[in-house]
Amino acid sequence: MGSSFAKLAAIDFAIQGSGFLLANLFQTEKFYDLTGSLTFVVVALQSLLWAKRRATTRQKVQTALVCTWAARLGLFLFFRVLRVGKDSRFDKIKTNPWKFLVAWTLQGVWVLVTLAPSLILNSKSNDTPLQNRDYFGWILWTFGFLLESIADHQKNTFKMDPANKGKWINKGLWSISQHPNYLGEILLWIGHLIPATSVFDTPFDYISVGSPLFIAFLLIRVSGINMQDRQGLKRWGADAAYQEYIRSTAKLIPYIW
């Protein structure tokens, strides 16, 4: 696992480094997310090609799920940034090469940590028959994927309607959760972890439990909910209707929190 992981990490950071050089040269963040998604696909597929035995059904399914998620989210974010014209996360850092480099480096770390369950799974030479654990994980992944996809589609459709310019979305899934897309993202990575544990056979393998925990931490405490909430309060904080929306609508999990 060690040597193959080092090679995969080298591929990961080589892609990020190349992306940074181009992005810094043209002072653009427009292909940042697309590059991250491409990295997921390349690293996941390469780990499958380096499997120690003929790829198993579990390995193939897990890798296919990663590629499906990456393709959907990467293209969605890419076309969104093209439509909007910029990504506000980079307003203050893209003109500073060192801070911009940190963002690209962190994306490389994000790829490796998030992919940990699949990388460990694909490094295994042992296999077990598919069991309820696998099916449950894949069902949970599908639910999370659909939740995120539908939420993104609803918000994108809402924002593209000129009548909604300057408004926040409180319809569809967004009427029961302020951040249903983030909930879907967290759930799908929990679902991604579960089938991989079917072949875990060393204590080290369980370090990949950190994958969904890392995603949840990022989305809840770092670049997800906190950032979106600050922007929302800045734009609509004085609006009584918005204050009522954030008071009466679950932050993440409908009817719970």
pLDDT digits (tens, 9 = 90+) for 39-95: 999 999 999 998 867 789 999 999 999 999 999 999 999 999 998 888 888 988 999
| Residue 41 near residue 70 (C-beta atoms within 8 A) | yes
Q: What share of the chain is helix, strand, coil (3-state, %, to 5)?
A: 75, 0, 25
Tokens of 138: 């894949």
Total Cβ atoms within 10 A of residue 132: 7
Helix runs in 27-161, H state only: 32-49, 57-84, 97-123, 132-160
Whose CA is closest to 179, among 73, 253, 70? 253
d(CA 4, CA 8): 6
10 Å CB burial of residue 23 (0-12, 13-18, 19+) is buried
Q: Which pLDDT band, with edges at 50, 70 and 90, does 116 fall under?
A: very high
Average pLDDT, the chain: 94
What residues does each domain of the chain span?
1-127, 129-257
Whose CA is closest to 24, among 82, 116, 70, 93? 93
pLDDT mean over 160-169: 94
In the predicted structure, residue 2 carries a pLDDT above the cut 70? no
Q: Which pLDDT score is estimated for 8?
A: 96
Q: Which pLDDT score is estimated for 68?
A: 98
Whose CA is closest to 81, among 64, 62, 94, 68? 94
Which three-class secondary structure state does DSSP give residue 157?
helix
The owner of tokens 């696909």 is 41
Q: Which pLDDT score is estimated for 52?
A: 67
10 Å CB burial of residue 165 (0-12, 13-18, 19+) is exposed
Determine the longest span between alpha carbons in the chain, in angstroms: 61
d(CA 55, CA 133): 19
What pTM did the predictor assign?
A: 0.94
d(CA 38, CA 12): 10
In the predicted structure, residue 190 carries a pLDDT above the cut 80? yes
In the predicted structure, residue 129 carries a pLDDT above the cut 80? yes
Show the 3-state SS of 88-123.
HHHCCCCCCHHHHHHHHHHHHHHHHHHHHHHHHHHH
